[in-house]
Amino acid sequence: MSNEESRPLSPEPSGPLPIKKLHESIINRIAAGEIIHRPASALKELIENSLDAGATSINVTVKDGGMKLLQIQDNGCGIRKVDLPILAERFTTSKLSTFSDLSRLTTYGFRGEALASISFVGHLSVITKTKAETCAWKTHYADGILVGERPGQSEEPKPCAGNDGTTLIVEDLFYNTPTRLSALRSSSEEYARILDVVTKYAVHNPKVSFSCKKAGSPSLDISTPSSSQIHNTIKLLYGHSVAKELVHAKASSISKKGEKKSDNPEAWAAEVYFTSANYQAKKMIFLLFINHRLVESPRMKRAVEGVFTPVLPKGSAPFVYLSLLIDPRSIDVNVHPTKREVHFLNEDAIIEKIADGIQETLAAQSNSRSFQYQTLLTSGVTSSEASSRKRKGKDRDVDEEDHEEEAPTPRVVPQKTASQHKVRTSQNDRTLDSMFPVTHGSRSDSTNKDTQGGETAPRPKTKEVKESECFLTSVLSLRQALVKGKHKLLTEILERHTFVGIVDRDRSLSVIQYSTSLYLINHAALAEEMFYQLGIRQFGDFNRLKLEPPPPLRSLVQIAVDYEDTATHSKLTKDQIVDKIVSILMMRREMLSEYFALDITEEGNIESLPLLLPDYTPSLDNLPNFLMRLGPQVDWTDEAECFGTFLRELALFYTPGPPLISKSPDSPDDAQEKAEKWQIQHVLFPAMRRYLLAPKTLLDHDVVQIASLPDLYKVFERC
Ligand code: ADP
Ligand code: MG
């Protein structure tokens, strides 16, 4: 037991004890305990040091909840060799030299106490290298000073191999303060706190890549990319459910006209990201950074939480990330640097204004809730005769209410079944007019955009399909492959082309013009590639195409399997094949939903499909086939392969094919044909212009130059 713990709690009855000055190392140890409460608080200081050092990558390794080992590696500026001897002394800092600096300091810790404190309560080692140095230097510290690695060894810094930056290793934290050690919780709880600190700093520093893992574990528990954006980092760390409801607000002191920002010590600015009323957590998640330090302010928390009380159901709470910048002059500098609770000038007024800002945004937001999906009606999807008859009856009276081909609308309009929404249950049941929504009545032959969205609503502008932020290496490599495989000229041709016409619909051939050349292209092949790329582009963040009512997966797969001629090359019965495919998909429901917006209910009904392109509805005729193929065609064992093959299948499903079946009595073929052509010209080609990174392979079969004006001139000149 250490000395301070063995002191008697009350004086001996025989009389007062003599007053003795505590030994300095004990004073330091007590002081250290005030700063470093637990592994997570040590880590917080170390992360701040790394950020101060300009690191863009911070990797944390932990053993036993940080009690055994806490290691943080950064790629910051490093520490000069000459500074190493005094690094862990108290009040040594590179960040402060005069008192007036103290009030202007914007870096994190600023009193040079963190490393000293750590060296008093744990074994501290440092490996560091500056750019100027040719090798790294390794040192060990105890009680604020340099020591040898083992007793009797030289305390001089030892040269070693290492990258630019600093690695700090803290071992056996609190080994000499048993009370502190025993106050700690289980190592898993301490680890959870460590993860919490890393997570929060990662959100606040989206440009810096963070990782955190247990020593010896091959997997990272946290991993963020560098140069990301706050929204994306929040999504990565707190999940899609938080990120999709995230709203952003700003508040600040209004500076008087002509006044320079820096002139006013009372100036402040706050940025808040918080979830709308659609998100409800059990406990409030509150990240508060003041001047880039993670702090606590119960008053601020209460005020912010109060804003949500009227809009959230009882017992639920929001996610709030708040970053407040205040002039350092108005922060109470006498507050201990590691004290997480802070006080600052005009606290009440600032808190009130921030809360007001959140409330305004929240109010505006809840008035215009937006639903990011389209609804597709699928009544009577199973193969019963009755339902298909009923469906036909319904189709007629809803044609004029046909909204589904609009881009995702701000509100979900209840819809009845339209023929193009049907899932046909057998190949014979196909009606060609259901292939594309634009075939109805007078609209079918029109190329006027305004008539396409139905009479009731003006057609909204096509929304930009944004690239989702995704950090899975598999997806990133798929994206890189697209960029790498891009053929520059072909992409430019498709970007800038003028559409000439469809020359052979059955063979999916169109002609486009670029500059002085004409090209014959296979638009189905190009569309398939584009849909594949749109899939990769929106990975993990698809809008949803809702199916209403949700058709049963099993029946759809059954339809496709029945239609396939599998008997010849499979030992399994058709039912067994269906079972197998259904169970593959059911097993991966969660993944399919999260990554691909393919929602399958527990009962096995398909609620939604990913919406690859606004304004474009794939033909549900192909849905059974698509679902069936997911079984055998997708490589479910390897992540990258799985995503790639799934998205290929999805693209195939979306690609308009040649007419699969001959004319149907109630849908004249020419109307159908016109509709399809319209869709190809006005939806697919414009989308290709925007999104297709044309790979070289398309040049093999799918794009052929058929004429060039200069060459034609030459021909004519000869004539
Ligand atoms: P403070 O951060 O308050 O200055 P610390 O005890 O945390 O005090 O750190 C002391 C000094 O050590 C810092 O001022 C800085 O110069 C140097 N230092 C600590 N950690 C790092 C690091 N990861 N990279 C570069 N320098 C560091
Ligand atoms: Mg510090």
Q: What is the pLDDT of residue 441?
A: 30
Closest residue by CA, ligand 1 atom 1 = 112
Nearest CA to ligand 1 atom 20: 49
Ligand 1 pocket, mutate which of 80, 93, 126, 141 (most atoms under 8 A from CB): 93
Protein residue closest via CA to atom 18 of ligand 1 = 49
How far does the centroid of ligand 2 lie from the alpha carbon of residue 696, in Å?
53
Distance 124 CA to ligand 1 centre (A): 13
Partners of 159 in the beta sheet?
137
Taking the C-alpha atoms of residue 341 and residue 335, their distance in angstroms, rounded to an integer, is 8
DSSP code for 414: P
Report the nearest-CA residue for atom 11 of ligand 1.
93
Relative orientation angle of helices 298-308 and 347-367, to the nearest 10 degrees: 20
Query: Could you give the CA distance from residue 167 to residue 197 in angstroms, rounded to a whole number?
Result: 18
Question: Are 232 and 469 a contacting pair, CB within 8 Å?
Answer: yes
Q: Which residues contact 390 (CB under 8 A, 6 or more apart)?
A: 379, 380
What whole-number distance in Å separates Cα of residue 126 and Cα of residue 86? Answer: 12
Q: Are 130 and 77 in contact (CB under 8 A)?
A: yes
Ligand 2 centroid – CA 205 distance (Å): 17
Q: What is the structure's pLDDT at 468?
A: 85
| Interatomic CA distance for residues 201 and 108, integer angstroms | 12
Say how many Å lie between the CA of residue 151 and the centre of ligand 2. 28
pLDDT at position 388: 34
The token pair that represents 532 in the structure block: 């594949």
Write the secondary structure of 189-236 as one string of H (helix), E (strand) and C (coil): HHHHHHHHHHHHHHHHCCCCEEEEEECCCCCCCEECCCCCCHHHHHHH
Q: Residue with the nearest Cα to atom 8 of ligand 1?
A: 112
Distance in angstroms (rounded) separating the CA atoms of residues 629 and 649 = 7
- State the distance from the centre of ligand 1 to the C-alpha of 565, rounded, in angstroms: 71
Instruction: Give how far Cα 21 sits from Cα of 5, 90, 116, 378, Å.
Output: 16, 19, 21, 84
Ligand 1, residue 109: give the atom nearest the CA.
Answer: 3
Q: How far is CA 342 from the centre of its chain?
A: 31
For ligand 1, residues with CB inside 6 Å are 45, 49-50, 53, 74, 76-79, 87, 92-95, 109-116, 166
**Interval between CA 149 and ligand 2 midpoint (Å):** 24
> Which two tokens mark 537?
């582009």
To test the pocket of ligand 1, the residue of 94, 127, 208 to mutate (highest count of ligand atoms within 8 Å of its CB) is 94
CA-CA distance, 519 to 430, in Å (whole number)?
Answer: 34
- For the chain, give percent helix, strand, coil, nearest 5: 40, 20, 40
**Residue type at 596 in one-letter notation:** F
Which one of 41, 48, 52, 170 would you pick to mutate in the ligand 1 pocket, going by the greatest count of ligand atoms within 8 A of its CB?
Answer: 52
Question: Nearest 5 degrees, angle CA 607-CA 609-CA 615?
Answer: 125
Closest CA to 612 of 536, 555, 705: 536
The partner residues of 467 in beta bridges, in order of sequence, read: none
User: What is the maximal distance between C-alpha atoms in the chain?
Assistant: 129
Q: How many Cβ atoms are within 10 Å of 410's Cβ, its own excluded? A: 10
Neighbouring residues of 606: CB distance < 8 A, sequence distance ≥ 6: 547, 550, 551, 552, 553, 556, 598, 599, 600, 627
Residues composing the chain: 719
Spacing, Cα 215 to ligand 1 middle (Å): 24
In the chain (719 residues long), the average pLDDT of successive 10-residue segments reads 43 64 68 76 92 95 95 96 86 56 42 81 95 95 91 92 96 85 83 96 97 94 92 94 92 64 74 91 91 84 89 88 84 52 76 90 64 47 36 34 33 35 33 32 34 35 74 87 90 87 86 85 92 93 86 90 69 85 90 90 91 84 89 86 92 77 51 76 88 89 78 59
The model's pTM is 0.52
Report the alpha-carbon distance of residue 393 to residue 41 in Å, rounded. Answer: 69
Q: The tokens of 56 are what? A: 């863009």
Q: How far is the CA of 42 from the centre of ligand 1 (A)?
A: 13
